[in-house]
Structure 1
């Protein structure tokens, strides 16, 4: 997640329409969430669900954290009925259906594995795992258990992304040949970015948004990856520039920066024109269409303050997970296992080219 306050830019020369984010009410069958962790992203995830008026039969029923006192405080703040003394205890319980893993990156694999092996569905925050080997192993476990597993790339479920996808599929942009993404925030001093033992990496923390966007648009695996970056004294990348080359002369240029704030837009260019996702592109509320009109997307309000920008949008991935589980699906069609494996492979390649090596890279799973 990224910092910042949620503000929609105004375009005086373009027609602007505010679109309410309508989601069909979920069919009956209560989905009970267990929250794995008590950090800021977990707080926002629960807040997004609890404050959404059309969440349907979906409830946050339990929480567990490394420190029981923090879990108890979290439960009190969010009116959660059950606090478990450990992750293992919650995994073994009959009181949850799906776990939301919002712990730090190095714990994604082990915690997701714990819940899958205990018969629980899993939504794991991005990145799914630290590398391809872990991601492949986790997906294999989910398939063997016939359980739902999804990487929490919440951007994919934004109503704006869906609108852009519809515009592309309509042919209004012509053949898409170029994608440009800029994503930068001055957060290089934060541990989850700068410290290797915390899974620190600009490409793992922020770059996943840019990589997934190129993948979302081209719906293909690149044939060539070129990456350059800047490392800190701990051997962690703080800045990355990535060029992805695809078949048929298609290309994506991605700039990821943890030292300065960039103009965080994403532009899709086709033979008939361009469409731009305005800042903040990672979960946006404003799209400039190829014909110049501006479409605004209004997120629901909450009486509680969010930690990260536009976090109300987290509810859309939660709804996707609930609907998939109800329909007996093991993966989402909007964020598939294949998508996660390609993302993991790309992040491995970028880290390799810029010189970031994690201890986990030497292990087998």
Structure 2
């Protein structure tokens, strides 16, 4: 499968390095608003084509899948361009900026019968099934609550701090604790209580989120761009608890009994980067004639945008273009 990448920033580099190691997909085209940057990227990572115009790349008949690696603020227009040109889309998280954009782009993809999926890699990884299997086997009993966090000190990055690019902790890193909770407790959230610390630019620099589910189950979540955290996802049950270390790319799963004794350690399989799983899922779906991935249904992506909309509403945060 020949992959084209929109945007030539850091996340595009990670995807390019992943594609280089895959036999099922290849680096085919790179596009940047700067043709010079695109040419440099092409030479550095072994792409066949470099474009200085997004419109040019979507018209290349050889492109089988386009991976959108641009800032959040650009996802809607980039995805729309791909869909209208019948190009399958794998769009980096967060899916869009808000629920309205997500609903519109999903409706367009379904109308045009074009494949689309959110590149929220944790939904595609083997570790997801390992966690599901451990819980399903009753190793920690009935799940009662979840705690999860993800934090990095990345406040020095201009994109993260810029409201015009939909910056902030929530869309960039908060989506991971939210997704962790979603994968285990589902999406029937009954109540959301949240707060944030704002940066001088007006974006959320850190946030705390409490989600209440049916039967009194809860998720207590945190994300930040101010500090590095231990990045654990912890699932508490009636017979013990499970720790998923490094929740945005789980490498180790530990099972503890109620006495806080480690009883089992489960290692995630070796990987290229973790990005390969979303590419493989997209390839499989496209080859089967499907327009979305079963691992990350589009309705779920829309729902997660609605959840984050509610949180930003509670914080009084709107992006300038909304």
TM-score by length of 2: 0.95
Which residue of the partner structure matches residue 252 of structure 2?
Answer: 286
Aligned-pair distance for 1:290? 4.6
Q: Determine if contact 1:235/1:355 at 8 Å carries over to the other structure.
A: no
Regions of 4+ moved over 6 Å: none
2:223 aligned with 1:223: no
Which residue of the partner structure matches residue 320 of structure 1?
Answer: 281
Which residue of the partner structure matches residue 356 of structure 1?
Answer: 317
* Distance in 1 of aligned mates of 2:141 and 2:39: 54
* Distance in 1 of aligned mates of 2:156 and 2:310: 24
Q: Determine if contact 1:39/1:102 at 8 Å carries over to the other structure.
A: yes
Aligned-pair distance for 1:169? 2.1
Aligned-pair distance for 1:298? 4.4
Aligned-pair distance for 1:211? 0.8
Which residue of the partner structure matches residue 295 of structure 1?
Answer: 266
* Distance in 1 of aligned mates of 2:38 and 2:147: 41
Matches within 5 A, 1:14-33: 31-33=1-3
2:125 aligned with 1:158: yes
Aligned-pair distance for 1:87? 0.5
* Distance in 1 of aligned mates of 2:239 and 2:80: 46
Task: Summarize deviations over 1:75-104 as a string: whole Å, max 9, x none.
Answer: 111111111231101112201021000011
User: Which residue, out of 322, 329, 342, partners 2:303?
Assistant: 342
Which residue of the partner structure matches residue 44 of structure 2?
Answer: 77
**Matched position secondary structure for 2:234:** strand
Matches within 5 A, 1:21-60: 31-52=1-22, 55-56=23-24, 58-60=25-27
Aligned pair in 2 of structure 1 residues 129, 59: CA closer, same or farther (>3 Å)?
A: same
Task: Summarize deviations over 1:305-328 as a string: whole Å, max 9, x none.
Answer: xxxxxxx11111111111111111
2:140 aligned with 1:173: yes
* Distance in 2 of aligned mates of 1:188 and 1:83: 31
Supply the RMSD in Å over aligned alpha carbons: 1.4
Task: Summarize deviations over 1:330-360 as a string: whole Å, max 9, x none.
Answer: 1111111121011100111111112211133
* Distance in 2 of aligned mates of 1:191 and 1:351: 20
Q: Determine if contact 2:139/2:255 at 8 Å carries over to the other structure.
A: no
The alignment covers a number of residue pairs equal to 317
**Matched position secondary structure for 1:263:** coil
Aligned-pair distance for 1:221? 2.5
* Distance in 2 of aligned mates of 1:92 and 1:214: 39
**Matched position secondary structure for 1:313:** coil
Q: Determine if contact 2:163/2:203 at 8 Å carries over to the other structure.
A: yes
Aligned-pair distance for 1:220? 2.3
* Distance in 2 of aligned mates of 1:300 and 1:130: 30
2:209 aligned with 1:242: yes
Q: Determine if contact 1:191/1:198 at 8 Å carries over to the other structure.
A: no
Task: Summarize deviations over 1:23-70 as a string: whole Å, max 9, x none.
Answer: xxxxxxxx2211111111011111112114xx43x2221111110011
